[in-house]
Amino acid sequence: MAYSNITGHEPVKRYLKNALAKGVFSHAYLFEGQSGVGKLDMANEFAKAVNCQKGNEEACDECVSCRKADVLNHPDIILTGPDGRSIKNEQVKALQAEMHLKPYESRRKVFIIDSADTMTPQAQNSLLKVLEEPPSSSLVILVSSNEVGLLPTVRSRCQRLHFGRVIKESPAGGISGNSTETSHESAQEPAFPEDRDKSLMFVGDCIKKNTKGMFEFSERIAKADRMECLGILNMIIAWFRDLSLYIETKNGQFIINHDKMDEIKSLARKTNGKSVYKAIEALLEAIEKMHGTVNQQMIVDHLVLKIQEALK
């Protein structure tokens, strides 16, 4: 299977292919969205592409590594799912041990955790230790249909990619909104490059105390649909996370947005780790409220004020 055989999700495909083309990608991803929209297929395809022997932005489907991945017999692509109703701590502990071993025959070991939202709290805390200090040769992909089931600390340490609903074309040429087996891409899927750049501008406005820019951006995301708003807030968390890591380590080894290192370094000189951590806490709190009944505009307005207070 190639990306072309996965229906829809073009922004996600472009994002992942661009990461491989540049050779810069996160140590951990969270693929989130409704059940049955192709998240696991995309995770498997990305894992195959990461270890493809031709080293292109997409798997060749011809080399030994790709052929092994296609038949689920690749020693460096490890898939884990629920044992019964949940993913147990023992399963994650076993993955931890495997993560610290060198790849058997590929560049990286890729660990795909399906239904990651079913991990027990103990299992998530065990995984958190790896996400905080990831082995350089390992890549983790969490696949989740229920983000509320994941601890905020786990979500914040992953590059989050949202999979929108895919709409089925009926035989008569109309569109049926209840299927996920389709050829039409959901309009809810985010435009990653644009939102990513604007999210970085927002972070810069926050740190530089550009109140006008902050509230202009907040007005835009407050008017977006809830899933788009959540996606943008998580992009902002990723930027603040990168800032926090650079402030603490002074190197870019675990930076998600590695292509923006100059901007990250510049912003890091204007703030401190404690303030950035408080901003991340405010963002995580806002995301939790998004899953309730509180008015979205109120949540975003309050968030801006909390970030201002954190970074003052």
Give the range among 87-91, 165-169, 173-177 with minimum mean pLDDT. 173-177
> Which H, E and C letters describe the chain, residue by residue?
CCHHHCCCCHHHHHHHHHHHHHCCCCCEEEEEECCCCCHHHHHHHHHHHHCCCCCCCCCCCCCHHHHHHHCCCCCCEEEECCECCEECHHHHHHHHHHHCCCCCCCCCEEEEECCHHHECHHHHHHHHHHHHCCCCCEEEEEEECCHHHCCHHHHHCCEEEEECCCEEECCCCCEECCCCCCCECCCCCCCHHHHHHHHHHHHHHHHCCCHHHHHHHHHHHHHCCHHHHHHHHHHHHHHHHHHHHHHHHCCCCCCCCHHHHHHHHHHHCCCCHHHHHHHHHHHHHHHHHHCCCCCHHHHHHHHHHHHHHHCC
**Mean confidence (pLDDT) of the chain:** 83
Query: In sequence order, which residues have a C-beta less than 8 Å from that of residue 216 and are 6 or more positions away?
Result: none
Domains of the chain: 1-189 (3.40.50.300), 190-312 (1.20.272.10)
**Residue 272 falls in which region: left (phi positive, over 0), alpha (psi -120 to 50) or beta:** beta
Residue 174 has pLDDT above 50, yes or no: no
Give the range among 4-8, 12-16, 45-49, 58-62 with minimum mean pLDDT. 4-8
Question: From residue 264, how far is each of 233, 268, 297 by CA, in Å?
Answer: 18, 6, 28
Can you give the pLDDT at residue 152? 80
Can you give the pLDDT at residue 249? 82
Give the range among 26-40, 44-58, 242-256 with minimum mean pLDDT. 242-256
| Nearest C-alpha neighbor of 78 from the set 111, 31, 124 | 111
Sign of CA dihedral 72, 74, 77, 80: positive
Give the range among 53-67, 144-158, 185-199, 249-263 with minimum mean pLDDT. 185-199
What's the rounded Cα separation, in Å, for the pair 37 and 143? 11
Confidence of residue 141 (pLDDT cuts 50, 70, 90): very high
| Nearest C-alpha neighbor of 154 from the set 168, 140, 173, 169 | 140
Residue 182 has pLDDT above 60, yes or no: no
Would you state the structure tokens that stand for residue 250, as one six-digit string?
């002074």
pLDDT digits (tens, 9 = 90+) for 80-113: 999 888 999 999 999 989 998 889 988 899 999 9
Would you state the structure tokens that stand for residue 78, as one six-digit string?
């490890």
Q: Of 271 and 37, which is predicted with more confidence?
A: 271
What's the rounded Cα separation, in Å, for the pair 243 and 286? 20
